[in-house]
Structure 1
Amino acid sequence: MGIVTSLLVLSFLIFFHELGHFLAARFFGVHVEVFSIGFGKKVFSKIIGKTEYCFSMIPLGGYVQMKGQDDSDPTKISYDEDSYTTKNPWQRVIILFAGPFANFLLAFILYFFIANIGVTKLSPIIGNVSENSPAQKIGLMKKDKVIQINETAVQTWNDLSILIKKSEGPLLLRIQRDRSIKKFRVTPDIKELKNMFGEPTKKRILGISPLGETMVVHYTPLDSLVFAYEETLQATTLILTSLKKLVQGVIPAKDLGGVVSIVQVTAQASEAGIIALFALTALISVNLGVLNLLPIPALDGGHIMFNIYEIITKKRPSEKVLYRLTLAGWVLLLSLMAFTIFNDLYRIAGGY
């Protein structure tokens, strides 16, 4: 059941991405010849209006084939009024950007739903107090609940962590212990720890860890919009940072995962509940949006790059150069896909 859910999630994400291209193309009067979920041989198709809608054999992507645009052969150009080719470069940029934008929009919608369902977060209740830590020295104890830091209310453990991280100088804590409220003044230690990428970083710490109790946070409609925006922005930043660390060599190539990893993780999330599934789907959707905007020929970002070149220089890129760059882009993408699938299978076999 988990694998079926994973494939449905991937198909839905691809559909939403291609729907963005489709709607933008139709808005500017471009004829869409084919709307496909998947690549390769068509296993099901139906013509509605003048567009062929189909499911193809390999469910690892999808495409919208517009009149006058063909990634497999960029030299196939149509100069008809309803052709992609005849539209202004800025219109083509919007059509191309609409796909990734749809992915960001979908993530925003999913995070909005999560906020309205209720977000499970760690309560700001202290579990362990480290030996010789600032927290121990001022007398903090297990099961103390942090309710305020420097006049700012604390609702979750994440609030507590953020306030400590962004603070400067000593902190004034309000602690609920049993039925009484106590005040403590403490100066955090600054220690060198490792971040999620294994890099050393300096961090302000009190020497406390959460008890593990959870709470469900419900948001108002307005707060849900803020939550959805912040989560989408945070997911985008995380993916961009990860790409940067990958290029720098901080993240080893063996850690790259492909479609097999996506199916595995999505299947696990589906078993964990609807909120976990929505959160992972939103993250994958943002990932698709970011990756498709990379300036690689054959991706939306590569085509956007070519059109920006045309806007700046007032002339189209050479068809020969465009063809060779697009071909190189496909070779790169297919090689990367093959490498990530190998990584996934080798990891499953216990190679890493």
Structure 2
Amino acid sequence: MIEFLADNTATVVAFLVGLTIVVFVHEMGHFWVARRNGVRVEVFSIGFGPELFGFNDRHGTRWKFAAVPLGGYVKMFGDEDASSKPDAEAAEEMSDEDKAVAFPFKSLGQKAAIVFAGPAANFIFAVIVYAFVFMSFGQPATPPVIGSVVSGSAAAEAGIQAGDRILAIDGEPIERYEEVQAVALLVDGTPLDIRFERGGIERTITVTPTRLETIDDQGTVRDGYTLGVNPPYPTLIHTISPDSPAERAGLEPEDRIVAAQGVPVQVFADFREVLEGFDPAQGPLRLTIERGDQRFERTLDPVIETYDENGPTESVARIGVTFSLGDRTHIAYGPFEAAWRGVGETVRVVEHTFTALGQMIAGDRGTEDLGGPIRIAQFFGQAAEAGVVTFLLSIALLSVNLGLINLFPIPVLDGGHLLMYGIEAVMGRPLGEAAQEISFRIGLAVVLGLMVFATWNDIVQLVGG
């Protein structure tokens, strides 16, 4: 962990900036609605633990940054324990004036609104960020054309070919390859009707995804269903890492790899397939490079990285380059269209998150996608490196997920409080203090257990890589 922090300062900074923004938005939702309902807010904290610095506003709220920047909280007057209800002695000592500004003495509807405001703020913020990006920079759009098909995959068995243009999946129109990727990420064993165009002729076939263990570009071993199609990204080098095998071999940005080990490669997936089968015992990697109107050969020794996530050891060869996204463009929209698409993107993230969780519970998807702070930090580091647009989209994605997670009906989370208020509305009285205490202890255990599990996933990936 210490080595990770030392070697990834920019990644950690990007993570803390992104997390601080979405936590601030979440807590500001609670704060704003609490103040509108006459609740006195005592503390607005970004982070936990000892205060690093802060100030008091004219209403008496202490705004501060704390030492552990992995979250935040708003402390409201009278909110002294896990059940948001003061003990009998504290209630007796409160004056009518104090009760008027104390959170526990507000109506059930007011308390529910204050609690729900945090997740709601995250969703609204995500819509705004998506809309801003789609209006100012444009929505990423890659032609929905199949770059390559994995041999023996569900798509290959069904007759999908490289160059096919996807028109619709299960009746839903497809305009961008990014939409194909979104579907592919969440497939299970359910057959899909795919309408596509080949040679000017439209066809429809049924593809039944098959289960397969794969390794993604970050080295994470994934176990789940797949279609077996790859995007039309070319083998055009975009960036080269310093002191990498590619740099030592004299490769340059804008070079195009046209063959590897004597095998022609047209898209990135073709090249990745060669790398997956590379054996250093058989000698260096042989590449045919096209630079302008020149074509020449280069040999290099890839870095071999191994991964073992409680399963067979897998090896991945890396040469230290990233590839161009080819014909990807950005479609800019007007304010209303951008806002509508921002809403749609937020809803899509929510739907996909629920689908993925359901698949994990059903056993149709591995749990390796459950990442903790290290994985999120890596995600933000890569997003920041990719540019401002990707970083903004990553912040919006995290904001949606933070809002959604907080709505889970687990005591200690906002959703748990809302569940308690719902029970109180039905019963006409709150649960007894003992029942509330037990439920909050169980909820805390569940949350801590999930955090430990997600962090363990992070550590396994980090050590494996």
| TM-score, normalised via structure 2 length | 0.62
| Structure 1 residue 210, shift from structure 2 partner | 3.5
Native 8 Å contact 2:146 2:165 kept in 1: yes
| Structure 1 residue 214, shift from structure 2 partner | 1.7
Q: Which residue of 2 aligns with 1:119?
A: 139
Pick from 312, 322, 329 the counterpart of residue 436 of structure 2.
322
| Structure 1 residue 216, shift from structure 2 partner | 2.0
Q: Which residue of 2 aligns with 1:210?
A: 232
Partner Cα distance (2:365, 2:347) in 1: 22
Q: Which residue of 1 aligns with 2:260?
A: none
Pick from 178, 184, 189 the counterpart of residue 201 of structure 2.
184
1:243-272 Cα deviation digits (max 9, x unpaired): 223333434445421111111110110000
Which residue type is aligned with residue 246 of structure 1?
A: M
Pick from 33, 38, 46 the counterpart of residue 37 of structure 1.
46
> Is 2:61 the counterpart of 1:51?
yes
Pick from 293, 314, 318 the counterpart of residue 407 of structure 2.
293
Q: Which residue of 2 aligns with 1:64?
A: 74
| Gaps in structure 1 of 5+ consecutive residues | 176-181
Aligned-residue CA RMSD in angstroms? 3.6
Partner Cα distance (2:411, 2:157) in 1: 56
1:269-293 Cα deviation digits (max 9, x unpaired): 0000111111211111111111101
Going from structure 1 to structure 2, the CA distance change for 1:122 and 1:253 (only over 3 Å counts) comes to closer
Partner Cα distance (2:166, 2:366) in 1: 39
Which residue type is aligned with residue 129 of structure 2?
A: L
Partner Cα distance (1:244, 1:114) in 2: 30
Partner Cα distance (1:347, 1:160) in 2: 27
1:51-76 Cα deviation digits (max 9, x unpaired): 11111111111110111213457553
1:102-159 Cα deviation digits (max 9, x unpaired): 11111111111121111222124565589897677xxxx95x878999xx99754457
1:10-46 Cα deviation digits (max 9, x unpaired): 1111110000000010011011111111111222222
Native 8 Å contact 2:166 2:195 kept in 1: no
Partner Cα distance (2:195, 2:457) in 1: 46
Which residue type is aligned with residue 404 of structure 2?
A: V
Pick from 24, 32, 37 the counterpart of residue 23 of structure 1.
32
| Structure 1 residue 184, shift from structure 2 partner | 2.1
Partner Cα distance (2:160, 2:366) in 1: 37
Partner Cα distance (1:170, 1:252) in 2: 25
Partner Cα distance (1:160, 1:39) in 2: 41
Native 8 Å contact 1:25 1:95 kept in 2: yes
Going from structure 1 to structure 2, the CA distance change for 1:339 and 1:160 (only over 3 Å counts) comes to closer
Q: Which residue of 2 aligns with 1:105?
A: 124
Going from structure 1 to structure 2, the CA distance change for 1:337 and 1:68 (only over 3 Å counts) comes to same
Which residue type is aligned with residue 123 of structure 1?
A: P
Which residue type is aligned with residue 19 of structure 2?
A: L
Q: Which residue of 2 aligns with 1:89?
A: 108
Q: Secondary structure at the match of 1:85?
A: helix
Partner Cα distance (1:334, 1:160) in 2: 35
Partner Cα distance (2:114, 2:44) in 1: 14
> Is 2:291 the counterpart of 1:271?
no
Going from structure 1 to structure 2, the CA distance change for 1:162 and 1:9 (only over 3 Å counts) comes to closer
Going from structure 1 to structure 2, the CA distance change for 1:335 and 1:220 (only over 3 Å counts) comes to same
| Structure 1 residue 326, shift from structure 2 partner | 1.7
Native 8 Å contact 1:71 1:326 kept in 2: no
> Is 2:21 the counterpart of 1:12?
yes
Q: Secondary structure at the match of 1:349?
A: helix
Which residue type is aligned with residue 56 of structure 1?
A: A
Pick from 222, 231, 242 the counterpart of residue 345 of structure 2.
231
1:301-321 Cα deviation digits (max 9, x unpaired): 111111111111111221222
Going from structure 1 to structure 2, the CA distance change for 1:334 and 1:71 (only over 3 Å counts) comes to farther
Native 8 Å contact 2:85 2:104 kept in 1: no
Q: Which residue of 1 aligns with 2:323?
A: none
Which residue type is aligned with residue 51 of structure 1?
A: T
Going from structure 1 to structure 2, the CA distance change for 1:159 and 1:72 (only over 3 Å counts) comes to closer
Moved more, 20-29 or 274-283: 274-283
Partner Cα distance (1:101, 1:170) in 2: 36
| Structure 1 residue 172, shift from structure 2 partner | 8.8
Partner Cα distance (1:41, 1:277) in 2: 30
Native 8 Å contact 2:193 2:206 kept in 1: no
Q: Secondary structure at the match of 2:416?
A: helix
Partner Cα distance (1:169, 1:343) in 2: 35
Native 8 Å contact 2:83 2:436 kept in 1: no
Which residue type is aligned with residue 108 of structure 1?
A: V
Q: Which residue of 1 aligns with 2:272?
A: none
Going from structure 1 to structure 2, the CA distance change for 1:350 and 1:30 (only over 3 Å counts) comes to same
Partner Cα distance (1:171, 1:255) in 2: 30
Q: Secondary structure at the match of 2:21?
A: helix
Identity %: 32
Going from structure 1 to structure 2, the CA distance change for 1:296 and 1:71 (only over 3 Å counts) comes to farther
Partner Cα distance (2:354, 2:205) in 1: 31
Partner Cα distance (1:323, 1:304) in 2: 16
Going from structure 1 to structure 2, the CA distance change for 1:132 and 1:283 (only over 3 Å counts) comes to closer
Bigger helix share = 1
Counting matched residue pairs gives 332
Moved more, 279-288 or 335-344: 335-344
Partner Cα distance (1:106, 1:56) in 2: 24
Which residue type is aligned with residue 7 of structure 1?
A: L
| Gaps in structure 2 of 5+ consecutive residues | 1-9, 215-221, 235-326
